[in-house]
Amino acid sequence: MTTTNSLTYSPLRDAYPEGASYSDIGDRQVVAHFSDADAEYEAIASGATITDHSHLGRLTQVGSDAIDLLHRVTTANIEAIPVGGSTRTILASDRGRIVDVFRVVRTGDEELLLLGSGLFKSNLIEMIEFYTIIEDSTLTDVSESMLQLALAGPEAESLLASLVPAISELTAGGITDVDGVRYLRATSDEAEEFHLLMPADSGAELWKRLTDAGFTPIGSQAIHRRRIDLGIPCAGDDYSDRTNPLEVGLMDLIDFDKGCYVGQEVVARLDTYDKVQRTIVKVSSDDALISGEDVKLGTRTVGTIGSVISDADGTTALALIRNEFADGATALATESGTPIVISHRDQ
């Protein structure tokens, strides 16, 4: 773990319980764990947890052409999002590679809120601004003025509903505003969680209220492990501007009927002719694995290690592996000679 003075902390830092341990994510110091990382993992797997997501990217996009513009450049049907709804989408390059994966919330007739990875925020801003030529659309980075919390775990909904009954009425992707806090039900196939958005100066009070009510604060390590367990790829470790969305299981974020968007020709061709070369799988090893390390069959490179989590029992990771070796029938090892065992993401 490294610490440099140029890294910034969350505005909620003073509200955290004692003993937080930090790690670097991009240019931010993010809580790795508050106390025992294993206990935090158990909490997200079986209880109700709260996580500070203030290091992620939050942008507003406002203007009479904002929705049309984002519809034309990203993979999802943005025009179909009702006011008060949201969907996840991908901005890809013209070569069909991922710029960022983010959620688009339609907060008004001509207003959007974009919730992105944070790690690729500057790329997302740069690309949307590049495509904004004659359009009435203004992009603003509100990451510092707006905080974001995530509530997760099987008990999260019932516990939150006991405090904010209105969230029970929310459909998938829907938002509701209660007492200055915006609640979003961010459901996916793999997991259900709620995102809470609020002005930066009111975050500490809400954090205290939720932890007092029983939400267990957890850090990025437990989230990371849970995500790997569920086979959910993340920005940086598992996808980047060298990855196409189909390789990393993001097919559900692509509307194949909406018509053109940036990178559509490449993505559609890969899908139609079944030309996707790699697939994301879960792998394990008794020894340590390193994110970014090549996976080898003899001297041939057949994949790359992505997200990694280690514990006393060994290491679990996500990896991008060439399709012909992704069934686990062939013995593979990392470039440093560590044997790996493959299991598919849905097993």
Partner 1 sequence: MVTSGNPTIPANTIQVTAKAAKKVRQFAEGDGMETFGLKVAVKGGGCSGLTYVLDIVEGPEEDDKVIEQNGIEVYVPKKAYIYLAGTELDFSDGLNGKGFVFNNPNATKTCGCGESFGV
CB of 5 to partner 1, least distance (A): 39
Taking the alpha carbons of 101, 105, 110, 111 in that order, is the dihedral positive or negative?
negative
> Shortest Cβ distance from residue 269 to partner 1 (Å)?
9
Q: Which two tokens stand for residue 340?
A: 């790996």
Given a contact cutoff of 8 angstroms between Cβ atoms, the answer to whether 244 and 277 are in contact is no
CB of 276 vs partner 1, minimal distance in Å? 18
Residue 267: closest CA among 286, 281, 248, 246? 246
For residues 97 and 225, which CB has a smaller minimum distance to partner 1 in the complex? Answer: 97
Q: By CB under 8 A, is residue 183 in contact with partner 1? A: no
| DSSP per residue, 16-80 | SPTT-EEEEETTEEEEEESS-HHHHHHHHHHS-EEEE-TTSEEEEEESTTHHHHHHHHBSS-GGG
Closest to partner 1 by CB, 12 or 266: 266
Closest to partner 1 by CB, 133 vs 312, is 133
> Least CB distance from residue 278 to partner 1, whole Å?
22
- In the complex, the smallest distance separating the C-beta of residue 236 from partner 1, rounded to whole angstroms, is 24
Is residue 258 part of the contact set for partner 1 (CB under 8 A)? no
CB 118 within 8 A of CB 55: yes
Question: Shortest gap between Cβ of 248 and partner 1 (angstroms)?
Answer: 21
For 114-143, what is the HEC assignment?
EEECCCCHHHHHHHHHHHCCCCCCEEEECC
Strand arrangement of the beta sheet that strand 111-116 belongs to: 86-92, 98-108, 111-116, 57-62, 138-141
d(CA 127, CA 125): 6
Residues 264-303, one symbol each (x = binds partner 1 by CB under 8 A, - = not), give xxx-------------------------------------
Using the 8-state DSSP alphabet, how is residue 156 labeled? H
- Binding part of the chain for partner 1, among 99-107, 129-137, 190-198, 208-216 by CB under 8 A, reads 129-137
CB under 8 A: which stretch of 124-132, 140-148, 213-221, 284-292 binds partner 1?
A: 124-132
Q: For partner 1, which stretch binds (CB under 8 A), given 1-9, 97-105, 125-133, 296-304?
A: 125-133
Kindly tell me which residue out of 94, 144, 169, 327 binds partner 1, with binding defined by CB under 8 A: 94
Q: Which is nearer to partner 1, 189 or 265 (CB)?
A: 265
- Return phi, psi of residue 273, to 5°: -95, 10
Residue placing its CB nearer to partner 1 in the complex, 37 or 127: 127
Selected from 261, 279, 281, 307, the binder of partner 1 by CB under 8 A is 261
Cβ nearer to partner 1, comparing 76 with 156: 76
Fill in the per-residue mask, 31 to 70: x = in contact with partner 1 (CB under 8 A), - = not in contact: --------------------------------------x-
Reference 89, options 68, 74, 67; nearest CA is: 74
Residue 135 contacts partner 1 per CB under 8 A: yes
Confirm if 158 and 213 have CB atoms less than 8 A apart: no
Among residues 4, 6, 134, 329, the one that binds partner 1 under rule CB under 8 A: 134
Applying CB under 8 A, which of residues 31, 37, 73, 175 lies at the interface with partner 1? 73
> Does position 262 bind partner 1 by CB under 8 A?
yes
Residue from 111, 131, 164, 276 that binds partner 1 (CB under 8 A)? Answer: 131
Binding status of residue 263 toward partner 1 by CB under 8 A: yes
Yes or no: say if 49 and 41 are a contact pair by the CB < 8 Å rule: no
Cβ(307)–Cβ(273) below 8 Å: no
Structure tokens at 146: 């707006």
Dihedral angle sign, alpha carbons of residues 276, 280, 281, 285? positive
Contacts with partner 1, residue ranges (CB under 8 A): 69, 72-73, 94, 130-135, 260-266
